[in-house]
Amino acid sequence: MNILFASSEAYPFFTSGKLGDMIGSLAVAMRRQGTDVRVILPLYGDMREEWRGQLRYITNFNVPVSWRNQYCGLFELVRQGVTYYFLDNEYYFKRQGFYGFYDDGERFSFFSRAVLETVARLDHSPHIIHCNDWQTALIPVYLKLYYRHIEKYAPIKTIFTIHDIQYQGKYGPEILEGTLGIGRENFHLVEYDGIVNYMKGAIESADLVSTVSPAYVEEILDPWYGCGLDSFLRLQKHKLRGILSGIDQDEYNPATDAYIAAQYDADSFETGKPFCKEGLRNLFGLTKHEAPLIGMVIRFESHKGLDLLIHGADEILGGGMQLALIGYGGGVYERFFGELAARWNGQCAVRFGFLPELARQVYSGSDLFLMPSKFEPCGLAQMIALRYGSIPIVRQTGGLRDTITEGKDGNGFSFVSYSADELRDACFRARDAWQDKNAWSALVHRAMRCDCGWDKPSQRYLELYQQAMKL
């Protein structure tokens, strides 16, 4: 089976978070199963030189963007058995960063059309085009409107994965003809609430729709989580599937990680983790008195549950716990945590910025890892924390609900209501459990033994592709 992943990110080339991590890891996992997997990406201007020097030029062609034709260069690079294609257009992609530009709607409509134009120029004929998030959401729409009648495209099936339903690609109806090249007679394909909604178009046009955890596929049918699309999703429920993502367990491996103070595994953490905890305390300037240390690596966004910490952090720290936090994104949360660290000097410390190497030291050096999210489609940080023996404290939502359980045979601590009181109580249950060293050792051992890899999820995706082929 030939699979073409279309994405705006993929590790290790371009990644700003979970989307890039998933595409890079899943592609390699599928390739190991013998599936012919290829990935197609924009060629962003900030690609590292070490990768740019390995690109092989294939061809160039014009891509229709409404009434215009835009240049597209096609490049190729093979890594770990996976072929990556890069689509070059300096007008759209030679910029610092991936998103947040005034013309994102046009940039990614170009990319979606260019993906389909690329298919005609490859000796590879995909059985499935697997599209990811709103940046590739127009691929199923364009395939349906402009390519399905062509012999090479006729058998192609499309799958659309929702990684985060918050970001739907919503624009005014004025872009329909002049930017997207879609006639008014086909407005219904992408129209929702009177505007253009890229994600809605993909949900309607794709053969199957998946999300990144079983719990999230249930949640987005509810108005609380559906971000306005819940009523439409309920009509399309027959298409929906939920597959829990994984992590690259070779990449995140405390037994080989060169960035942490001491290497360890599930059988040696009792000697390795104390060195990592001491190193983390030294780096963050935390006092050495014996106390459970909570780690956090978080983007400063409201849905991460940070408002619960605004109301509960002083009480948690006052209950004898320590906090080491890496946060990025600025704004009001950065000010709050800066003031919190000053108020609890020696017991709470914060570092600002996207600091992946330091994050490894937080995972390895903390006893606990806090994720109080309002919603979390999948969550990878809790899986990384398990891998490093940092016991997660999570709110039961999305992938956090699918991966973390509390109790005799559990692997963490959780709470249900979006409440600062419940967050505090979960932290104090974890604090009390930490004080029973034998029980705590058994808990860490169970956590580190959890299988958070891609073998099982990749098999689920293969089954999903097989389902799509039968439609």
Residue-wise pLDDT for 110-150, tens only, equals 999 999 999 999 988 999 999 999 999 999 999 999 999 99
Position 92 scores a pLDDT of 97
Name the strands in the sheet holding 191-192, side by side, starting at the edge strand that comes first in the sequence.
170-171, 195-197, 191-192
Position 325 scores a pLDDT of 97
For residue range 251-286, what is the model confidence (pLDDT) as tens digits?
Answer: 999 999 999 999 999 999 999 999 999 999 999 999
Position 17 scores a pLDDT of 79
Peptide bond into 12 cis (omega under 30): yes
Burial state string for 160-187 with b = 16 or more CB within 10 A and e = fewer than 16: bbbbbbeebbbbeeebbeebbbbeeeee
Position 139 scores a pLDDT of 98
From the number of C-beta atoms within 10 Å of its C-beta (0-12, 13-18, 19+), residue 444 rates as: buried
Q: 425 by DSSP, 3-state: which?
A: helix
Same domain, 284 and 387: yes
Dist CA 450 CA 80 (whole Å): 25
- Whether the per-residue pLDDT at 25 is higher than 80: the answer is yes
- Whether the per-residue pLDDT at 330 is higher than 80: the answer is no
173 within domain boundaries? yes
Same domain, 301 and 411: yes
Same domain, 459 and 430: no
Same domain, 207 and 293: no
Same domain, 6 and 154: yes
Percent above pLDDT 70 for the chain: 100
**Side chain identity, residue 219:** E
259 within domain boundaries? no
CATH (domain of 328): 3.40.50.2000
Position 408 scores a pLDDT of 87
Please give the average per-residue pLDDT across 336-363, as a whole number: 95
Dist CA 392 CA 299 (whole Å): 17
Position 454 scores a pLDDT of 95
From the number of C-beta atoms within 10 Å of its C-beta (0-12, 13-18, 19+), residue 342 rates as: exposed
Same domain, 375 and 417: yes
Contact indicator for 361, 368 with CB cutoff of 8 Å: no
Position 320 scores a pLDDT of 95
Please give the average per-residue pLDDT across 293-309, as a whole number: 94
Same domain, 207 and 281: no
Dist CA 378 CA 26 (whole Å): 14
Position 316 scores a pLDDT of 97
Residue 271: CB atoms within 10 A of its CB come to 10
The distance of Cα 279 from the centroid of its chain, to the nearest Å, equals: 29
Residues of the domain holding 405: 269-449
| Domain total in the chain | 2
Of 363, 464, 456, 441, which is closest to residue 403 (Cα–Cα)?
456
Contact indicator for 451, 340 with CB cutoff of 8 Å: no
Same domain, 287 and 436: yes
For residue range 394-447, what is the model confidence (pLDDT) as tens digits?
Answer: 999 999 999 999 998 999 999 999 999 999 999 999 999 999 999 999 999 999
Position 319 scores a pLDDT of 95
31 within domain boundaries? yes
Dist CA 105 CA 36 (whole Å): 31
Dist CA 389 CA 330 (whole Å): 29
Please give the average per-residue pLDDT across 188-210, as a whole number: 97
Same domain, 277 and 179: no
103 confidence band (pLDDT: 50, 70, 90): very high
From the number of C-beta atoms within 10 Å of its C-beta (0-12, 13-18, 19+), residue 220 rates as: buried
288 confidence band (pLDDT: 50, 70, 90): confident
Dist CA 411 CA 395 (whole Å): 14
Position 123 scores a pLDDT of 87
230 within domain boundaries? yes
Q: What is the pTM (predicted TM-score) of this model?
A: 0.94
Q: Look over the chain and give the mean of its residue pLDDT values, rounded to a whole number.
A: 96
Same domain, 97 and 160: yes
Dist CA 114 CA 182 (whole Å): 15
Same domain, 166 and 296: no
